[in-house]
Chains A and B, each alone.
Chain A
Amino acid sequence: MDVRNSWRRRKTVLAATILTAAVAALGILASGASAARHANITLTIDVFGDFGYHDLYKQYEKSHPGITIKEDTEDYAPHHTGLVQHLATGAGADDVVAIEVGYIAQFAAQPQNFVDLRDYGAKSVKSRYPAWKYDQAVAPNGSVIGLGTDVGSLGICYRTDLFAKAGLPTDPATLGKMWSTWSKFLAVGKTFQKKMGSKSKFIDSGSNLYNAIIGQANPAYYSKSGEVIAATNPKVKQAWNLTMKAISLGEDKGLTAFAADWNAGFKKGTFATVTCPAWMMGYIQGQAPNTKGKWNIAPVPGGGGSWGGSFLAVTKQSSHPQEAADLVKFLTSPASELYVFKHTGNLPSELPVLKSKAVQDFKNPFFSNAPVGAIFAGSAMKLKPQILGPHQGDFQTAASNAIQRVEQHKQSPAKSWQQFLKDVANAG
């Protein structure tokens, strides 16, 4: 008995020791290996979604020996909330951070937390940007907190095979004319639905539709003087009503954008159109490689529009502001923006790049060789920016939730709208 006990005990201790040692060794090996690689400086960059930078990092590390770049990526909302938190607590922010247009006003209002990029040559690149894009990242005190990466100019991505089945034209130009307004777009959807029944829906998700429509409104949530006018602005209500109409007509699949089932939907063709900011192209290619050649891109109803677009900033918490700023300049250089556009789809924000032959002539085989460069660049150069405010991003989330409540039959449109207004009022 005693012998067995002590053996068991020894086995216990032995096992615990071996295990802890194994786990520790594993980690030390791994961390040791990576420590050997970066001798000098590690730059951290925090983005959301996919910025398409991985190859560029490698390129940069090669041309700048001693620098290692580590990217961290998160989902849209947690990324920005986390950034607010890290800036406020004075700890945890990366050297370089990406900021989306919905949040840029909020961060531009706290220039004390960011390196003023004017000290690192921002002025010399100013002329490359459309004035509005550059100005969005300028703080009230004149300091430049970020440089533009992409703009989210809109198109409509659609499945030509499903359109053909529904007896609709499949040519982008014809479609563009057919749906010159959003009401006409929904009318096309009605025809589509009549043929296809419930097997395939015309639209993936109500909130994507809404985002596209609201993206064309100016002003939308904020007035020129910075007041929140979500409740009184007829354009917001109009975007809402159109979305509700799409739902009531049964054209909406009602998926949650960016969730697992939405991804599955791309592969299975459970919906025929997606409102498509340029960056969505990369997403579709990554999600549903099996649908290559079945997609095409047509102009968006309502003429031009924008959803998304981002900036890169350097935080004051960075201990290598010079190197970080250099990296930002590299990543936002025309060559880098072009590279990202070709490989991921994010549309450059710099005028020379947008006008360049490389962009204008760019065709994407995945999207039936549509002249995506010309379509998106054309719409981007016509873009009129929206007036932004600090809680833009929060309102966007609240609206998505409100639309889902209707899609999932949890609330009537009227009730859900009321709750949306309440959320908007509480966001401050």
Chain B
Amino acid sequence: MSAVGVQAIPRRRLRRTAVARRLERGGPFTYLFLLLVVAGSIFPLYWSVVVASHTNAAVYAYPPKLLPGSNLFHNIHRLFNAGLVNIDFAHALVNSAIVASAVTASVVFFSALAGFAFAKLEFRGRKLLFLLVLATLVVPVQLGLVPLYIEMKHFGWLNDLKAVVAPNLCTAFGVFLMRQYIVGAVPSELIAAARVDGCNSWRVFWHVVLPAVRPIAVVLGLLTFMNTWNDFLWPYIVLTARNPTVQVAISDIATVAYVPDYSLILTGCLVSILPLLAVFLVLGRQIVGGIMQGAIKG
């Protein structure tokens, strides 16, 4: 569910309508309702802190313990101590960082490049090819996983991070998002002027387009990073517990030994969420803005 329909609408118009509307002021019930919603949003995360900070024995107590305990650091220590859980969690974190960074960099760059071509360059078949890109948004290509697995086996990429990175190097969503943004955000006159100055299309891209798409690049980058970091099915198919991504590692902790050690499992979940949570706290405003800007009109 990574696709977001996007049609970037120039910012100015958005602002005007939003400001011009005489919005009603939120009453006490509005706030009460919203606080409930917020509580619902946060509770499962709070709960994972509670479970992750108790011993496993305490987790099975009834009635359940509702407040955090004092065992969090001990559990984190267990998580990172490969001898105890048999999973090299640090290794998994590095793998995920590598995969997500590589995919993000590639997606942002190639999407901007293709988006630029679709938005501002004239060439034969442009419309048709762009329609093709759009069509791939709706076709669930991830379901080609049986042959893709055979393909990876053929390449000798099974259990290799390459198998997770390669299929995600470009996404239709990214191209689409970039194209829509560039159409509105990069004035054609500017490109024409650069052309007159003797810039070829590459230099136009490098000096004019890339700087201009930075805001949307941040949004696309963050969404891509999040999706890649959180991806499960495909990495689970091609990687093993020896060389896992974070998500594969956590799912393995969940099946380790006979005992579902929930204090450890949820510590793993918590640690895996933390990096994204940190990004979210710093850049949440942009992400919210990106999704909202992106999504106006399917």
B residues adjacent to A (C-beta < 8 A): 57, 60, 62, 80, 82-83, 86-88, 90-91, 93-98, 101, 153, 156, 158-159, 214-215, 218, 221-222, 240-242, 252, 255-260, 262, 275, 278-279, 282-283, 286
Partner of B82, one of A28, A70, A260, A283: A70
Q: How far is the CA of A91 from the CA of B60 in the complex (A)?
A: 39
Q: Tell me whether A74 is interfacial, beta carbon within 8 Å.
A: yes
Report whether B90 and A31 are in contact in the complex, using a CB–CB cutoff of 8 Å: yes
Report whether B218 and A263 are in contact in the complex, using a CB–CB cutoff of 8 Å: no
Chain A residues, CB < 8 A from B286: 8, 12
Chain A residues, CB < 8 A from B218: 9, 12
Chain A residues, CB < 8 A from B153: 89-91
**Leading 5 A-B pairs by shortest Cβ distance:** A27-B94, A30-B90, A23-B97, A15-B282, A75-B255
Shortest CB distance A83–B (Å): 11
Q: Digitize A357-371: 1 where CB-to-B-CB distance is under 8 Å, 0 elsewhere.
A: 000000000000000
Report whether A286 and B259 are in contact in the complex, using a CB–CB cutoff of 8 Å: yes
Q: How large is the interface on A (under 10, 10 to 19, 20 to 34, 35 or more residues)?
A: 35 or more
Q: How far is the CA of A11 from the CA of B286 in the complex (A)?
A: 11
Q: How far is the CA of A16 from the CA of B259 in the complex (A)?
A: 37
Shortest CB distance A206–B (Å): 18
Interface of B is mostly: helix
Q: How far is the CA of A91 from the CA of B94 in the complex (A)?
A: 22
Q: Tell me whether A49 is interfacial, beta carbon within 8 Å.
A: yes
> Contacts A74-B252, A92-B159, A264-B60 known; A30 to B91 CB distance under 8 Å?
yes
Please name 7 pairs of A and B residues whose Cβ atoms are closer than 8 Å in the assembled complex, sorted by A. Answer: A24-B97, A27-B91, A91-B153, A91-B156, A92-B158, A92-B159, A268-B62
Q: How far is the CA of A283 from the CA of B57 in the complex (A)?
A: 14
Report whether A26 and B90 are in contact in the complex, using a CB–CB cutoff of 8 Å: yes
Report whether A72 and B242 are in contact in the complex, using a CB–CB cutoff of 8 Å: yes
Report whether B241 and A72 are in contact in the complex, using a CB–CB cutoff of 8 Å: yes
Report whether B240 and A92 are in contact in the complex, using a CB–CB cutoff of 8 Å: yes
Chain A residues, CB < 8 A from B95: 27
Partner of B279, one of A16, A50, A287: A16
> Contacts A91-B158, A258-B258 known; A27 to B283 CB distance under 8 Å?
no
Report whether A20 and B283 are in contact in the complex, using a CB–CB cutoff of 8 Å: no
- A11, A263, A264: most-surrounded residue (chain B CB, <10 A): A263
Q: How far is the CA of A331 from the CA of B96 in the complex (A)?
A: 34
> Contacts A24-B97, A92-B158, A92-B159 known; A9 to B260 CB distance under 8 Å?
no
Chain A residues, CB < 8 A from B96: 23
Q: How far is the CA of A24 from the CA of B102 in the complex (A)?
A: 13
Shortest CB distance A68–B (Å): 11
Known: A30-B91, A289-B57. 9 other contacts (CB 8 A): A15-B282, A26-B90, A27-B91, A27-B93, A30-B80, A31-B91, A54-B83, A75-B258, A263-B259
Chain B residues, CB < 8 A from A9: 214-215, 218
Chain A residues, CB < 8 A from B257: 49-50, 73
Q: How far is the CA of A31 from the CA of B218 in the complex (A)?
A: 30
Chain B residues, CB < 8 A from A8: 286
Q: Tell me whether A394 is interfacial, beta carbon within 8 Å.
A: no
Q: Tell me whether A19 is interfacial, beta carbon within 8 Å.
A: yes
Q: How far is the CA of A422 from the CA of B88 in the complex (A)?
A: 41
Report whether A11 and B259 are in contact in the complex, using a CB–CB cutoff of 8 Å: no
List CB contacts (< 8 Å) of A14-39 with chain B.
Answer: 15-16, 19-20, 22-24, 26-31, 34
Q: How far is the CA of A334 from the CA of B289 in the complex (A)?
A: 67
Chain B residues, CB < 8 A from A86: 240
> Contacts A78-B255, A258-B258 known; A23 to B283 CB distance under 8 Å?
no
Report whether A15 and B279 are in contact in the complex, using a CB–CB cutoff of 8 Å: yes
Q: How far is the CA of A9 from the CA of B211 in the complex (A)?
A: 12
Q: Tell me whether A259 is interfacial, beta carbon within 8 Å.
A: yes
Report whether B259 and A89 are in contact in the complex, using a CB–CB cutoff of 8 Å: no
Q: Tell me whether A135 is interfacial, beta carbon within 8 Å.
A: no
Q: How far is the CA of A287 from the CA of B97 in the complex (A)?
A: 36
Q: How far is the CA of A91 from the CA of B62 in the complex (A)?
A: 45
Chain B residues, CB < 8 A from A323: none
Q: How far is the CA of A34 from the CA of B215 in the complex (A)?
A: 40
Q: Which single residue of chain A is at the shortest CB-CB distance from B214?
A: A9
Chain A residues, CB < 8 A from B82: 34, 70
Q: Tell me whether A416 is interfacial, beta carbon within 8 Å.
A: no
Q: Which single residue of chain A is at the shortest CB-CB distance from B278?
A: A19
Chain A residues, CB < 8 A from B262: 260
Q: Digitize A41-73: 1 where CB-to-B-CB distance is under 8 Å, 0 elsewhere.
A: 000100001100010000000000000001111
Q: How far is the CA of A89 from the CA of B239 in the complex (A)?
A: 12
Report whether A74 and B256 are in contact in the complex, using a CB–CB cutoff of 8 Å: yes
Chain A residues, CB < 8 A from B159: 91-92
> Contacts A26-B90, A78-B255, A260-B260 known; A20 to B282 CB distance under 8 Å?
no
Q: Tell me whether A267 is interfacial, beta carbon within 8 Å.
A: yes
